[in-house]
Structure 1
Amino acid sequence: MLKSVLFSIVMLVAITLFQSCSNSSSQGTTEARLPKEVTYNFDIRPILSDKCFTCHGPDENKREAGLRLDIAEEAFKALKENPSAHALIAGKPELSQVYLRITTEDTTKIMPPVESNLKLSQREISLIEKWIKQGAKYEKHWAFVAPKKPAVPEVDHAEWARNEIDYFILAKQQEKDLSPNEEADKERLLKRVSLDLTGLPPTLKMMDDFLADNRPDAYERAVDQLLKNPAYGEKMAVHWLDVARYADSHGYQDDGYRTQWPWRDWVIHAFNKNMHYNDFVTWQLAGDLLPNASKEQLLATGFNRNHKITEEGGVIPEEYRISYVTDRNDLFGKAFLGMTVECAHCHDHKYDPVSQKEYYQLFAFFNNVREVGIESVIGGPETYAKKPLMEISDDDVKNILTFVNKADTNRLIVSVMGDLDTLRKTYILKRGVYDAPGDEVEAGTPKAILPFSNKYPKNRLGLSQWLFDKQNPLTSRVFVNQMWQEFFGRGIVKTSGDFGMQGELPSHPALLDWLSVDFMEHNWDIKRLVRQLVTSATYRQSALVSPDKLKADPENVFLSRSSRYHIDAEYIKDLVLASSGLLVKTIGGPSVKPYQPAGLWEGATSGRGLLSMYVQDHGSKLYRRGMYTLIKRTVPPPTMSIFDASNRDLCEVKRLKTNTPLQALVMMNDPAVLEASRVLAARLLDEKTDSKEKITKAFRLIVCRKPSEKELDILTAYYDKQLKSMTDQAAAKMIAVGEYPLTKNMDKKTLASMMRVISTIYNLEETITKS
């Protein structure tokens, strides 16, 4: 018995000592993982934002115990409920209530509270402890400090770099024990940059010329040619159409037709002539307020009239007018400031330093538009645009608005901006309710970003001048980040619509600041910025990924390879049409209605107006670029939606990237893809070449590289098998797709067999993948 008791005591002591050593070891490991210098912006604020600011942040309506932790002067004050104690005491975590409350074992005192279901990790606790020991220094949120151009870092293997971007990327890779991939082969690189700059695959001539060009600057020459291609403006415009929530219908239940497409023509034109970003945005925000405003400047303001508009009877006009102003205000915050200002519509922002008062001060800039909540009921041409509006005459198109593709003599009207002659008063709306006005406010901007200067007029033109003030910390960063996202698949700030406290921290903060300042120093030149991005060594890397790299950096945050993802919905259609020879390259003009499953519009309609029934277009309209597909907001184009296109209800600065079985079903069954397969097959069969040469040419047109010997053998064997097994009945059924005329006197079984091979090539993952 005694031996048993002694054995138990010895074991208990041993276990206790083991646990003590284990805890000590764990604490030592945690300490070793902590940064040498703990910073508020990059180490502490994310923790407080996630776990503490809901109750101890900017929103005074939700604040608990009178404690505010998001600003230093409040955090260091004596506690309201215990004046002898302080939340933070610099250098002394053992006396700081923040540290004591996050480490206590008393469940009635621990923070965050048990009922919040939030909990700090040991590493987060250690970071806070070390930060307090180092003085608990607060910093202004990184995104609210005007960027300064940092020095380009010194790196090992600097010979890899093509421009300044690469030094920043390589420095971060070396910090993370990563190294860049080798450059992609010429065929894949040309496909990548052609899709990125024009939204179209390279032609066979472009491929052959680039492969034959052995000059050291061959790639840069190819980039310059692509930047001159008019398709560049179309490609760049698609992202901006998402930002501007462009659509061809008003939205809401009736969802009537609208004619905003001339504004889309202007956007394409502006990108092609390389209008610099400050002018590009100023014209759209306030073109009507510029001195002696031209019709082109007025047309540009259609940007802020792209929002949804009701045409339903029985609505309360002021309620909807307020919703239109709210839409513009929220768009301004998301598109240009990368801020979720809409969170302050009903109350102070819970996380960011934007008060409800400041929200309505910003709102005041857009509250003076000469519009009403409901103008008319759904009906004829007079409802295609809402006042204020401008009419585009044939003379305008001939002499002023030469870029507008107006092919007929019908009346063409566009909704634009135009203010009242007198100032409409703006009030804080209690809880955001349209008929609950509170205190009156004047136009202004969030002080935490940049106070509105008296040197600017208190109108939309002044707001634009404030936006492009060199001290505005967000404007350049936000646009540069959107462009980075367009070419690399992920922004330097992943949350491209949220640079605030809840947004993700930049993966390469120094690079973002360098690019932002450089963009401003070069007069907001968009084409120059785009060229910088696509000529970098970072952009040119192969997309091959080793198991080690995938494990170390699964999301490719540190860009040690090129990212792989499917191209946007519009460009999938463009690739199919261009490779088959069906693409109609006409720029601009009204939107078109291509093939679509029957009954979709009819099943979701009020039964009134031009868009109550889907009447498919014919002829050349079927083969326009994807960006010209008509977007009805209540029933957006199904094929494009499946490939993650925006429905254009609201401003969208970042599209989702999904990978679903529905996407494969579209590529296998979409009449547009099948028709393209038939047309390309017929064209190849018309050529005096053997089957291997035909299949090789098809592969190059679609995948944009030469097939390997194995790939060619498999596809040729498949063609031969189809040719042997194809019946007249199956062939006739297969080729009876699409409206493009069938080639006369062509053997149907041969055509159907080659069509199946080409359809298979269209269905390769690589075909629609940027890699």
Structure 2
Amino acid sequence: MATARKAAGVTTLGIAEDALKMMRSSLLLLTLGLLLAAPAAAEDKSSPPIDPAGITFFETKIRPVLVQHCYSCHSQESGKAEGELRVDSRDAIRKGGDRGPAVVPGDPASSWLLIAAAHKDDDLKMPPKAERLSDAALADLRKWIEMGAPDPRDAASASKLAKKEFWASRPIAEVSPPAVKDGDWSKGPIDQFVLAKLEAEGLAPSPDASRPTLLRRLYFDLTGLPPGPADLARFLQRCDADGEDASLAAEVDSLLTTAQFGEHWGRHWLDVARFAESSGKEANITFPYAWRYRDYVIDSVTADVPYDRFLQEQIAGDLLPAANDADRARLWIATAFLAIGPKNLDEGNEPQFTADLIDEQIDTVTRAVLSNSVACARCHDHKFDPFSMEDYYGLAGVFRSTKTYFGTAVSPSNRVGGDPLVLPKVEGQKVLHASIPAKKVEDLKAKLAALRKEEEEKKAASWKAILEKRDASGIYTLQDALRIFWQTGGIEGELERVSDTGEALPLTMGAKDATEIKDSPLYERGDVARAKGSVPRAIPASLRFEGCEPIPADQSGRLQVAHWLTSPQNPITPRVFVNRVWHHLIGAGLVKSVDNFGSTGDLPSHPELLDHLASRFVNEGWSLKKLVRQIVLSRTYRQSSQFRRDAFDKDPDNRLVWRAAKRRLTAEAIRDAMLATSGELDPARPDGSLVGRVIGDRPVSLVGLDARLPKDLDGSTQRSVYLPVIRDRLPDILELFDFAEPSLVTGERETTNVPTQALYLMNSPFVIARAKAFAGRLQEATSSPDEQVTQAFQLCFGRDPLPEEKARASAFLSQPVQAKDESFGVLEVFCQSMLSTAEFRNLD
């Protein structure tokens, strides 16, 4: 108790310990009893489906390792089962061999597969006569086992999936809205599709949500911020005067024009684009120029750049025509989509690094746009979906013919250097790193030339000694090679950031066609040491349609891939996107497996509605804003989230959309709402990012060892979309409240409810600071406890308090209890409790 109190900054002077306990008990009662409890009742529970993310993890991280290192001795394909062990099916790997189960789900310590692969048993080291698997591969195996070893490789499922048609590639059907019995309920085609399904099951939609509830839902869904009391008063007055339909449309149209819409919906795409400001993996080197891509996404969403154009810019912006230098710079920044992924910059094998980089790009492009990954065919033909190894390596040639600029220089912590992309200079362009004197540029060039000369001389002397059959040891040692490698890399990195006169250059991450255009070899079992022929660059065969552009011999093919993905003849791209938007607004996708439109994913609950939305989306110019407007003005969106036993018994997962889903706010919305409620939110966009500003004077930084990065990464008062996103080191509130994993394409975040979230709300300096500012805001407005309570409820929940809530909260504020720290008294405790309630961090 004392520890929690100290951490929260709440201490007492002149009162007994039991009085303080009474005060804390009152806070607990106020928070848990009076203010709204967690919105999901026990009776809402239903059996969760198998997590498709687990299957994705297996297909991308585990199956390739098993195929490459284990199948040759332990598979039906090889005809071998050494030690009576096979690892090519779920049942076989769990049954194990002579030593017992190779995999015990949830128990890595008892799983012989991991023990053998880690070389922890002197009598069993696998693969035999080979080096131990990499630390990254072992970590993936451990994580997979801890996840419960999800594995789709059972014969029954495989047979069933093989017969399942790849529905997402069918042409989009033009379907008229169905007839419904209750013609008065629908506001448009969306409602007719939803109501027809409900009526077919003998169900009715839920009543409309209250106007305050609807406005709060709308503001958070469109901007990620709560409405203020003035917004609510204006909306209610307009509803009385003009009617709810017209008032709601006016609010939507106003919110769609705001910068806050671009920030909130831009963050949704950044989840999909696996945006981060460091490489992750073993070295975890910072990406100081990644912020430019973040700003590009936000600006594009704010401007409602058509989605097909938005994709084309990110995949092939360098190959698109530009109106001027500013437009050219914007298009080059867009291609950072291909560059910001996780990378093992500690990889010493250059062919392996290149192959892994290409694999990550293929996985990201296909998973982000098509919700299906061709990368699963890197080591073998896809087991369930129609992608062959030839499809994979046809795309691999496209990205092998692409140079990726990720802007890290060689250093002792980074073996792989990636040039930055120098942007055209335009007026108002931000550059976060400093210029250097021209004299220093000349000195660095001279030092670089001297190091290269030294290297050549030592190499020549060493070869001469060898040819003359003399002892060459000590002439050019490994220590010499490493020293020169690190020193030249650091100097090159510094020179890349400035002009010949020392002026700081505008830099970005990005991609351009490589100097050498070439196809990719096919690597047997994905092993770069087993190259076999070459595969012409091409679109995957099963997804081609008439009119697909051939790839010219002198181009990488990225432009043709971009055109293929965004062609009106490609039915998957618009289906995937409208499903992502529906998921964010309604709470679950029409295809529930938002990131998996393959045969292991879910079928659409309303296929006709999905096609209606996709068709209209394309016909209306691929406009996100028009799509959002169409959905939020529907009667379906307006429904209450109240529980109904009759509907729940028939449809416990709410796949028929018989009510609005109860949803917790995202981590960013929780943080931003605290700042908005306390009156501290700074709406201005910062210059660059914390990573770019702190690391601005040095091109390479190992995240874990850079003392310049503050421990408190969420200490600003600007919107959360501008917080640093460092792989493996996120700001506390993002980490605790289920931020998207920045190394993966994420269209749907997890939602957990764990004790550390409550501890954060109780003890976090950030929350305590917001509570103090919130209390100050209430005190400035009024000294009346009753009025303070009313205003607090309006600011936090967008509603007035119920009579009982108001009475008990006012009584709490009137307690004759004072804290030791005058800056954190009863009002501050009350404000912290308000910010910590379930109602504050949940919609409806």
> CA distance change for structure 1 residues 201 and 384 in 2, over 3 Å: closer, same or farther?
farther
Deviation at 1:416, TM superposition (A): 1.0
The one of 148, 153, 175 aligned to 1:150:
175
The one of 784, 795, 804 aligned to 1:710:
804
Contact 1:233 1:269 in 2 (8 A): yes
The one of 285, 289, 297 aligned to 2:331:
297
Q: Deviations over 1:721-746 (max 9, x none)?
A: 3xx1324x2x34xx4xxxxxxxxxxx
Q: Distance in 1 between matches of 2:255 and 2:415?
A: 40
Q: Deviations over 1:113-132 (max 9, x none)?
A: xxx98779xxxx9xx9xxxx
The one of 262, 278, 283 aligned to 2:292:
262
The one of 599, 602, 605 aligned to 1:501:
599
| Equivalent position amino acid for 1:498 in 2 | N
Q: Deviations over 1:193-222 (max 9, x none)?
A: 100100111122111100111212101111
| Equivalent position amino acid for 1:194 in 2 | Y
Q: Deviations over 1:62-98 (max 9, x none)?
A: 999xxxxxxxxxxxxxxxxxxxxxxxxxxxxxxxxxx
Q: Deviations over 1:657-685 (max 9, x none)?
A: 22222222222222212111111101211
> CA distance change for structure 1 residues 289 and 372 in 2, over 3 Å: closer, same or farther?
closer
> CA distance change for structure 1 residues 427 and 391 in 2, over 3 Å: closer, same or farther?
same
Q: Distance in 2 between matches of 1:335 and 1:483?
A: 13
Q: Distance in 1 between matches of 2:179 and 2:582?
A: 23
SS in 2 for 1:461: helix
> CA distance change for structure 1 residues 755 and 608 in 2, over 3 Å: closer, same or farther?
closer
Aligned partner of 2:232 in structure 1 is 207
Deviation at 1:636, TM superposition (A): 2.3
Aligned partner of 1:566 in structure 2 is 664
Stretches of structure 2 that go unaligned for 5 or more consecutive residues are: 1-62, 64-71, 78-152, 436-503, 692-700
Deviation at 1:329, TM superposition (A): 0.1
| Equivalent position amino acid for 1:587 in 2 | R
Contact 1:254 1:378 in 2 (8 A): no
Deviation at 1:161, TM superposition (A): 1.0
Aligned partner of 1:13 in structure 2 is none
Q: Does 1:770 align with 2:843?
A: yes
| Equivalent position amino acid for 1:203 in 2 | G
Q: Distance in 2 between matches of 1:450 and 1:558?
A: 33
Trace 1:336-485 onto structure 2 (pairs within 5 A): 336-371=369-404, 376-378=409-411, 386-387=418-419, 389-391=421-423, 393=425, 396-398=426-428, 411-451=505-545, 453=547, 455-458=549-552, 459-485=557-583
Aligned partner of 1:587 in structure 2 is 685
Aligned partner of 1:532 in structure 2 is 630
Q: Does 1:173 align with 2:265?
A: no
The one of 216, 224, 227 aligned to 2:256:
227
The one of 230, 237, 259 aligned to 2:266:
237
Q: Does 1:218 align with 2:247?
A: yes
Deviation at 1:171, TM superposition (A): 0.7
The one of 356, 365, 387 aligned to 1:323:
356
Contact 1:370 1:418 in 2 (8 A): yes
Q: Distance in 1 between matches of 2:709 and 2:548?
A: 53
SS in 2 for 1:582: coil
Deviation at 1:454, TM superposition (A): 5.6
Q: Distance in 2 between matches of 1:583 and 1:335?
A: 32
TM-score, structure 2 as length reference:
0.68
SS in 2 for 1:448: helix
Trace 1:84-103 onto structure 2 (pairs within 5 A): none
Q: Distance in 1 between matches of 2:415 and 2:155?
A: 52
> CA distance change for structure 1 residues 408 and 203 in 2, over 3 Å: closer, same or farther?
farther
Contact 1:245 1:648 in 2 (8 A): yes
Aligned partner of 2:220 in structure 1 is 195
> CA distance change for structure 1 residues 767 and 372 in 2, over 3 Å: closer, same or farther?
closer
Q: Does 1:752 align with 2:785?
A: no
Question: After the TM superposition, which of the residue ranges 457-466 and 608-617 deviates more from structure 2?
Answer: 608-617
Deviation at 1:359, TM superposition (A): 1.3
Contact 1:370 1:387 in 2 (8 A): no
Q: Does 1:725 align with 2:817?
A: yes
| Equivalent position amino acid for 2:840 in 1 | T
SS in 2 for 1:418: strand
> CA distance change for structure 1 residues 669 and 138 in 2, over 3 Å: closer, same or farther?
closer
Contact 1:200 1:574 in 2 (8 A): yes
| Equivalent position amino acid for 1:725 in 2 | V
Aligned partner of 1:22 in structure 2 is none
Q: Distance in 2 between matches of 1:340 and 1:522?
A: 28
| Equivalent position amino acid for 2:259 in 1 | P
Q: Does 1:286 align with 2:316?
A: yes
Aligned partner of 2:466 in structure 1 is none
SS in 1 for 2:309: helix
Q: Distance in 2 between matches of 1:686 and 1:384?
A: 56
Contact 2:407 2:419 in 1 (8 A): no
> CA distance change for structure 1 residues 681 and 691 in 2, over 3 Å: closer, same or farther?
same
Identity of aligned residues (%): 29
Contact 1:305 1:416 in 2 (8 A): yes
Deviation at 1:351, TM superposition (A): 0.5
TM-score, structure 1 as length reference:
0.74
SS in 1 for 2:333: helix
| Equivalent position amino acid for 1:677 in 2 | A
Deviation at 1:456, TM superposition (A): 4.4
> CA distance change for structure 1 residues 688 and 658 in 2, over 3 Å: closer, same or farther?
closer
Q: Deviations over 1:291-323 (max 9, x none)?
A: 3471211111111111123443x6112211211
Higher RCO structure, 1 or 2 (CA under 8 Å, sep 6+): 2
Q: Distance in 2 between matches of 1:555 and 1:608?
A: 42
Aligned partner of 1:685 in structure 2 is 779
| Equivalent position amino acid for 2:606 in 1 | H
| Equivalent position amino acid for 1:141 in 2 | F
Question: After the TM superposition, which of the residue ranges 433-442 and 555-564 deviates more from structure 2?
Answer: 433-442
> CA distance change for structure 1 residues 454 and 473 in 2, over 3 Å: closer, same or farther?
closer
Aligned partner of 2:210 in structure 1 is 185
Aligned partner of 2:277 in structure 1 is 248
Question: How many residue pairs were aligned?
Answer: 606
Deviation at 1:707, TM superposition (A): 1.2
Q: Distance in 2 between matches of 1:323 and 1:283?
A: 23
Q: Deviations over 1:161-197 (max 9, x none)?
A: 1121111111111112221111111111111110010
Aligned partner of 1:510 in structure 2 is 608
> CA distance change for structure 1 residues 453 and 563 in 2, over 3 Å: closer, same or farther?
same
The one of 640, 661, 686 aligned to 1:542:
640
Deviation at 1:568, TM superposition (A): 0.7
Q: Deviations over 1:375-405 (max 9, x none)?
A: 632489x999932512475xx242xx6xx69
SS in 1 for 2:670: helix
SS in 2 for 1:573: helix
Q: Deviations over 1:676-718 (max 9, x none)?
A: 1111101211234411111111111111111111111121122
Contact 1:364 1:442 in 2 (8 A): yes
Contact 1:570 1:626 in 2 (8 A): yes
> CA distance change for structure 1 residues 489 and 405 in 2, over 3 Å: closer, same or farther?
farther
SS in 2 for 1:294: helix
Aligned partner of 1:747 in structure 2 is none
| Equivalent position amino acid for 2:828 in 1 | M
Trace 1:694-705 onto structure 2 (pairs within 5 A): 694-705=788-799
Q: Does 1:622 align with 2:716?
A: yes
